Structure 1
């Protein structure tokens, strides 16, 4: 090799090597932050120490593999199955209504992935009276055919009814017991009661966060947080899966956002300014990937505690903080009011099916304070 060629090669290596090193460092930096942002989260306890919460990488949500043997009607992009309702948000998240999806196709995609779904429900004080109907109807309609583990938080474990379970299903009375051997499992988690229903409501985010950190991470894929004073009436399944899932409140979905009961005091961390807001979401039903719900719960809990130090309690406790969170952190899937209707409301024409609904009740009878 000539001296001139050798000199050219040396100069080329001298230029390329630093570039490759720089690209390697950049890739490492981007991947680390991408990984931490999606699959992990830094949590800072009250004592100021730092502890990492790690989650299993979830491939099934990003990679949807359909069965090659399933036949179904050809989809169309010029003729929709629903023209009476909006089926996508301005940020391109699907809004799920009856008739907008194929349940057999979705189930065939998710069933081979062996996904697991956790559900939390709070039956504190006299709210235990609603638990039997909730659990028995959940067994009939909530992710039927998939692995589901329901965590019942209650201050009255002895009043939890022995629900008549299907073959192979179990009821565990100790939170320490955790097995994935049966399709549907129940765990009773003892919690203290309270003389104020507002405190019970506000404490839910902290308990959900703790449950994820101590019991669920790396064991469950999705989690849904549901109100106990409700019943299932129809399918709630794989069509509801998403990274961050919100349910539109049945009481306000036809209203202008100026009528939404957001927290309107600027000094609150749950504050939503006038002329802002997308939808008003239910505090009684939300969910998504484990890591996304953990991030939501952690943020809402932190903001609630910051408000408490200033003597502020948001208008609708955790629901107010949830709506503020989802104004900034847009849900990736929005469920229509089918997924949390109210029994005292007549069904509107666009609501073709009621899947989950709050039962009629006397708040003076069940709440410690009204």
Structure 2
């Protein structure tokens, strides 16, 4: 018997229950419209990289199909709430419960130096909060750069044994629309909202050859945001370990990349091509950038803040 997925509009609750039972018994099937080879879903934006990795925009994927494909997957979401940044954590978690990987197993990994300030937020079934105590640093730049080291270390020590994929995100943001398994891939990066339409020469790569993050002016595919990246735990471990080692080499040579860990992330993703690229829907600042017509949805957005006040406390 062919059953339609619950992702479709107006699906009766009894049918959703039947689908759930069918999935438990191992004969769940998803019926979806046939792909139209000669009718691309989006023609106003680039939907494929030159190395044939999909670029994820609204209208380019079917959540029903993907939810079925990833129904046994566990996702880890790492976030750093260090020093005063812990004030953003409650909104981050509450909006994640509304929009992030809904219906899937999620481990929230909270890196913080303020355990007593971690809020208690009701979680859906199959989701848990894991608080990881870490030290803080005097400069916000050092906090930012040491994220790579901490994610690398914990990936090896526990994430590899607990989750299938890792999503690494900034805490001073909120989820405002669906962010689901469509983002999952071996390695993904997100187009920076300030540079997705810019020419290569405008990218703020590290241009000093003395730095391990150096990218020549005639190289570069995209400029990726440091606040939303991920992939399989193994690939994230490789990325974060490589970036940390590069930053330590820079430190030994008394140089600091212009945009810290983001500069090293861009260098890594240039020479280790991501298998999926997320559009700026997944990292946006409406206050600074407005809302262009191509932005059908704003999925993960910046929270208005005084950067100077937050970083210096």
TM-score (norm 1): 0.76
**Superposed structure 1 runs of 4+ greater than 6 Å apart:** none
Indicate whether 1:155 and 2:113 are aligned.
yes
Query: 1:78, 1:67 → 2: CA distance?
Result: 32
Indicate whether 1:69 and 2:29 are aligned.
yes
Shift of 1:275: 1.8
Question: Unpaired runs of 5+ in structure 1?
Answer: 1-65, 169-182
Indicate whether 1:137 and 2:95 are aligned.
yes
Partner of 1:117: 75
Partner of 1:80: 40
Once the two structures are superposed, what CA deviation does each residue of 1:110-149 show, in whole Å capped at 9, x if it has no partner?
A: 21xx111111100111111110000011111111111110
Partner of 1:216: 159
Partner of 2:16: none
Choose the corresponding residue for 1:326, options 256, 269, 272: 269
8 Å Cα contact 1:139/1:184 also seen in 2: no
8 Å Cα contact 1:134/1:228 also seen in 2: yes
Query: 1:69, 1:162 → 2: CA distance?
Result: 37
Partner of 1:237: 180
Indicate whether 1:346 and 2:290 are aligned.
yes
**SS of aligned partner of 2:212:** coil
Query: 1:336, 1:353 → 2: CA distance?
Result: 10
Choose the corresponding residue for 2:122, options 150, 164, 179: 164
Query: 1:70, 1:159 → 2: CA distance?
Result: 43
Query: 1:238, 1:153 → 2: CA distance?
Result: 23
**SS of aligned partner of 2:66:** helix
Shift of 1:238: 1.1
Change (3 A) 1:147 1:89: same
Partner of 1:126: 84
Matches within 5 A, 1:1-370: 69-111=29-71, 114-166=72-124, 168=125, 183-344=126-287, 345-368=289-312
Aligned residues: CA RMSD: 1.4
**SS of aligned partner of 1:188:** strand
8 Å Cα contact 1:343/1:360 also seen in 2: no
8 Å Cα contact 1:300/1:322 also seen in 2: yes
Change (3 A) 1:353 1:206: same
Query: 1:69, 1:93 → 2: CA distance?
Result: 27
Query: 2:85, 2:220 → 1: CA distance?
Result: 31
**SS of aligned partner of 2:89:** helix
Partner of 2:8: none
Once the two structures are superposed, what CA deviation does each residue of 1:43-73 show, in whole Å capped at 9, x if it has no partner?
A: xxxxxxxxxxxxxxxxxxxxxxx97732221
Aligned residues: 287
Larger Rg: 1
8 Å Cα contact 1:137/1:232 also seen in 2: yes
